[in-house]
Structure 1
Amino acid sequence: MEISGIISAIVIGIVIGTLGRLVLPGRQHIGVLWTIGVGIVAAFVGTGIAAGLGVADTKGIDWIEWLIQIGLATAGVAAIERFKARS
């Protein structure tokens, strides 16, 4: 992966993590770095799932891929919030 790919993954991760956090109701008690980390992981995993389903590369905007990524980010933010609440 080239540096431009890494930078774009980080930017997309920030967007995906933020959108995933916005989907959850109420206030989340996790930091910005956790949100970005969850977003980056969700972006990579969501792209893999979308590729497996054959919807990763379509003409125009890949809405299904974005929905998968945002759903994964939402689940990740909720899981980390629950984990941190126990600690």
Structure 2
Amino acid sequence: MTIESLLIFLLIGAVAGWLAGVLVKGYGFGIVGNIVVGIVGAFVAGLIFPALNISLGGGILGSIVHATLGAVILLLVIRVVKRA
């Protein structure tokens, strides 16, 4: 993994985490938290979407949408678990 790909990886994670925090109100994690939420969200979406036969396309925009949707799912699951 080159430095450039690592920076893109972190940037996509940060943007996806921030977007998920905006969409799921009440979650602000800071830059490091947003990166973690975005990366974990991308992992969650990578597990769920292929099982449902969902494809969001490629490129950076597709990656951001993919990671954001996964992060939203992650934050909603966290919200449900916290209430229980």
TM range (shorter): 0.5 to 0.7
Give 1:1-87 correspondences, 5 Å limit.
1-25=1-25, 27-28=26-27, 31-32=29-30, 33-44=32-43, 46=45, 49=49, 53=54, 55-57=56-58, 62=62, 66-81=64-79, 85=82
Unmatched 5+ stretches in structure 2: none
Question: Percent of aligned pairs with the same residue?
Answer: 23
TM-score, structure 1 as length reference? 0.59
TM-score, structure 2 as length reference? 0.61
Unmatched 5+ stretches in structure 1: none
Q: How many residues align?
A: 78
CA drift at 1:37:
0.1
CA RMSD of aligned residues (A): 3.2
Whole-angstrom distance in 2 between the partners of 1:54 and 1:80: 25
Deviations 1:41-71 (A, max 9, x none): 2235546757x7555337xx53xx5443222
